[in-house]
Amino acid sequence: MQTISSCAFLLVCVIFLLLSENAKIAAAAAGNNGVYIVYMGSASRTDFLRLLTSVNRRNGNAVVRTYKHGFTGFAARLSEQEAHAMRQRPGVVSVFPDPILKLHTTHSWDFLVSQTSVKIDSAPKSEPPTSSSQPSDTIIGILDTGIWPESESFRDEGMPPIPSRWKGTCMAGDDFTSSNCNRKIIGARFYESSESDGIRFHSPRDGAGHGTHVASTAAGSAVANASYYGLAAGTAKGGSPGSRIAMYRVCMADGCHGSSILAAFDDAINDGVDVLSLSLGTPYFYKPELATDPIAIGAFHAVEKGITVVCSAGNDGPTPGSVVNDAPWILTVAASTIDRDFESDVVLGNKKVIKGEGINFSALESSPVYPLIHGKSANKSSTSEDSARICSEGSMDEALVKGKIVICESSEEGGGSYWQGQAETVESLGGVGIVLIDDQAKLVAEKFTSPITAISSKDGDEVLAYVHSSRNPVATILPTLTVINYKPAPAIAYFSSRGPNPAVLNMIKPDISAPGVNILAAWLGNDTNSTPQPENSPLFNVISGTSMSCPHVSGVVAMVKSQNPTWSPSAIKSAIMTTAIQTNNLESPMTLDTGSVATPYDYGAGEISTTEALKPGLVYETSTTDYLIYLCGRGYNRSTIKSISNTVPDGFDCPKDSNADYISNMNYPTIAVSELKGSESKKIVRTVTNVGGDGATVYKVSVDAPGEVDVKVIPEKLEFSKNNQKQSYKVVFTSTVSTLKKEAFGSITWSNGKHRVRSPFVVTSESSKSED
């Protein structure tokens, strides 16, 4: 899982953060006989078998996995010298150490529906929609930690027979048999090596909870009266309740191995999935080349086969340029908040109520009768006030803490694991509760087993002022309540990874945002480790991360695919991006959680719409040639590209002067231009396809441009005479200032009075140079 401040309430952190990220990467590359991935792209079967045979001849146990359905290659134990020699063999695109990737860790759907400008019909809340009332022909493949099949979210009542095109399987293993699959969970596979240890189940069964949560968010059947110990109560349902689920368990105790991820892609392509959802990725600082990134490789070949691939953007925000899974053939998802809050208030002795955040089931008195002390005021004489201020272990005097509520401030380390450490420290000294001053903790509802609440630094100043001004400061912490219609929402979560695109400035990433904060979804049926009442573990859990936003988009992709089965992955992506929303429930521009106005570097095209994506009017179809030109712009030559792709058109070659401007001219739903300086102009061309079903229709353009850039669209009207007709237009960007600031944002919107098709753009004077 990606390290975020909500790490504490994600049990998987205990499993997946056993090693530091650098140690993981180093371990993957270290030593003789380590596992290497030999990626051969579209190599001939002859070259593939010849190389595979030579490895097997040397050591019959060397080959760990083979890839043969969507692409060719294998993973094998090789020495560094053997790996180097392998790179020179015919048909080999790349050879690289098997990397270990990490996970990027319901009312959210009701909120998304309420955010659309289009009124839709919905079943009464007392009668939630059933799977049988939803399209059931789409199959969502999920690469994650496995699945808990007994969850009510995966029941299959009323679902028709499994589509005949499905070729997958239901693998048996520990506590998992073929009978655990049904008409909802139609496939389940797991991938392990002979050295796998520390795994709870050697099967597709989920031992962490993450995969179950993700799967139910994307395609869970409607379950009434779902909650987390009474919080977030309501009907839990997936984005596409009628879709089928195929689980590919690729994550083990030490993380998610690239060789397993590629094997899952290879199997999923052959099995017949329509959508692939991956809530995982490389650490943002790792930045592998495209040809050594398992997700980029697998996704490229899946998209070639007509499968839409949706990936989380990562949880390394708010660091600029931290977005991962940034290839153009991937639909990359940022995380936003919803209008539900988990409020746990602090009541001070002066009757002032301070709004807090967090999930706790406090049994303290509702009246402020407990002594309140600042951590630094309880420091031992042998420790510094700074250590006690953040409630570090061993820093405070037990006699001063016992029976009191302690105010703990944030640490630079931050994160859920640190907050839990603060809680354990105060509890061990006899403290009855904690008021945690931390702006990050204030935004994500951490789960605490004792009375703890998180407040903002601004409110923290008020609490500390009360403590310092009172002779006998007292307080209490109230148990958590669920607050609905919280405003403003959505807002981009602080942990959500940001643009600009670290690979190339001439393409905006992430692509879209979706709910990823405090999401309720299915969980393990016997989780006794991460809940405040282990003897009564919940069947649903509340967690946060771009891991949670990704399946929201996967569910919408499945719905769009079901209603438009012939659409390509790029058409589906375009439909979702051009109908996105940029305002919140205050009808103001979306913001960051800090209150600053968000930009496309934060949310891509905006917040996903569950309904408008079904009728986008126009779509931008990104062709194979566009992706090949992108590879040219990233430094790959024609020979290597032909080795990668099975669909290189005859006569294709990279432009002699391949540069970032060619990437800007990919037929992508968003536009990014770099190196615009002085009074220079740059021309961008786009082509749209009329899919609105209106036949003859006319679209007119409107431009929202920043003052530093003059934007002209030619022509200003697009006239279509029939459905599926294509029309092109060009956009000329001209700087109106001598020195353009770092980046300037705007948008181009086409409308025929019925459909609104919006493309955000960013213009920068900076140079876009490939990292490869």
User: Is 463 within the bounds of a domain?
Assistant: yes
Per-residue pLDDT, 190: 97
CATH number (domain holding residue 434): 3.50.30.30
Two tokens, residue 118: 């289009």
- Given pLDDT bands bounded at 50, 70 and 90, which one contains residue 679? confident
Flag whether pLDDT at 428 surpasses 70. Answer: yes
Mean pLDDT of 356-367: 92
Tell me if 484 sits within 8 A of 340, measured CB to CB.
Answer: yes
pTM, entire model? 0.91
Encode pLDDT of 114-173 as tens digits. 454 322 222 333 333 444 445 668 999 999 999 999 999 999 999 999 999 999 999 999
Two tokens, residue 180: 């655990």
Mean pLDDT of 189-202: 76
Flag whether pLDDT at 509 surpasses 90. Answer: yes
Cα(441)–Cα(648) distance, rounded to whole angstroms? 49
Per-residue pLDDT, 192: 86
User: Is 655 within the bounds of a domain?
Assistant: no
Report the SS3 class of residue 341.
Answer: strand
Contacts of 551 (CB under 8 A, 6+ apart): 142, 214, 215, 217, 218, 238, 239, 277, 279, 310
| Lookup result for tokens 């998802």 | 333
Name which of 332, 324, 301 is nearest 99 in CA terms.
Answer: 324
CA 411 to chain centre: 26
Share of the chain above pLDDT 90, in %: 73
Flag whether pLDDT at 359 surpasses 50. Answer: yes
Flag whether pLDDT at 686 surpasses 90. Answer: yes
Do 364 and 333 share a domain, yes or no?
no
Per-residue pLDDT, 538: 81
Per-residue pLDDT, 564: 95
Lowest mean pLDDT among 111-120, 431-440, 607-616: 111-120
Tell me if 546 sits within 8 A of 334, measured CB to CB.
Answer: yes
Per-residue pLDDT, 769: 62
User: Is 661 within the bounds of a domain?
Assistant: no
* CA quadruple 653, 507, 555, 147: dihedral sign: positive
User: Is 643 within the bounds of a domain?
Assistant: no
Cα(254)–Cα(259) distance, rounded to whole angstroms? 13
What value does the mean pLDDT of the chain take? 88
User: Is 223 within the bounds of a domain?
Assistant: yes
Q: Left (φ > 0), alpha (ψ -120 to 50) or beta: where does 83 sit?
A: alpha
Do 162 and 310 share a domain, yes or no?
yes
CATH number (domain holding residue 740): 2.60.40.2310
Do 522 and 548 share a domain, yes or no?
yes
Helix residue spans in 376-433 (DSSP H): 385-389, 398-401, 416-428
Per-residue pLDDT, 120: 23
Mean pLDDT of 583-599: 95
User: Is 635 within the bounds of a domain?
Assistant: no
Flag whether pLDDT at 279 surpasses 60. Answer: yes
DSSP run (H or E) holding 699 = strand 697-704
Per-residue pLDDT, 439: 83
- Alpha-carbon separation of residue 760 from 195, 508, 573, 704 (angstroms): 48, 9, 14, 9
Helix residue spans in 494-615 (DSSP H): 546-563, 569-578, 600-603
Do 202 and 351 share a domain, yes or no?
no
Do 176 and 263 share a domain, yes or no?
yes
Do 734 and 587 share a domain, yes or no?
no
Report the SS3 class of residue 273.
Answer: coil
Domain end among 483, 503, 535: 483
Do 58 and 188 share a domain, yes or no?
no
Flag whether pLDDT at 488 surpasses 60. Answer: yes
CB atoms within 10 A of CB 310: 35
Domain that holds residue 557: 106-339+490-614
- Domains in the chain, number: 4
Per-residue pLDDT, 660: 83
Do 443 and 467 share a domain, yes or no?
yes
Flag whether pLDDT at 444 surpasses 90. Answer: no
Report the SS3 class of residue 65.
Answer: strand
Tell me if 514 sits within 8 A of 552, measured CB to CB.
Answer: yes
Tell me if 433 sits within 8 A of 336, measured CB to CB.
Answer: no
Mean pLDDT of 738-760: 93
Mean pLDDT of 175-181: 96
Domain end among 421, 451, 483: 483
* CA quadruple 413, 419, 420, 421: dihedral sign: positive
Contacts of 303 (CB under 8 A, 6+ apart): 309, 329, 569, 570, 627
CB atoms within 10 A of CB 484: 13
Do 454 and 309 share a domain, yes or no?
no
Mean pLDDT of 353-373: 94
Per-residue pLDDT, 271: 98
Tell me if 317 sits within 8 A of 336, measured CB to CB.
Answer: no
Encode pLDDT of 62-91 as tens digits. 999 999 999 999 999 999 999 999 999 999
- Given pLDDT bands bounded at 50, 70 and 90, which one contains residue 415? low
| Lookup result for tokens 């102009």 | 681
Cα(562)–Cα(441) distance, rounded to whole angstroms? 39
- Given pLDDT bands bounded at 50, 70 and 90, which one contains residue 25? very low
Estimate the crossing angle of helix 569-578 against helix 546-563, to 10 degrees. 110
Per-residue pLDDT, 124: 30
| Lookup result for tokens 């009266």 | 225
Do 529 and 567 share a domain, yes or no?
yes
Mean pLDDT of 191-205: 77
Do 118 and 247 share a domain, yes or no?
yes
- Alpha-carbon separation of residue 531 from 123, 361, 512 (angstroms): 33, 11, 32
Cα(751)–Cα(580) distance, rounded to whole angstroms? 14
User: Is 639 within the bounds of a domain?
Assistant: no
Per-residue pLDDT, 680: 86
Tell me if 279 sits within 8 A of 516, measured CB to CB.
Answer: no
CATH number (domain holding residue 55): 3.30.70.80
Do 354 and 328 share a domain, yes or no?
no
Flag whether pLDDT at 326 surpasses 80. Answer: yes
CATH number (domain holding residue 155): 3.40.50.200
Report the SS3 class of residue 56.
Answer: helix
Tell me if 210 sits within 8 A of 146, measured CB to CB.
Answer: no
- Alpha-carbon separation of residue 729 from 209, 248, 625 (angstroms): 48, 42, 19
Domain end among 483, 516, 534: 483
Per-residue pLDDT, 417: 56
Mean pLDDT of 171-182: 96
Report the catalytic residues. 144, 210, 547
User: Is 36 within the bounds of a domain?
Assistant: yes
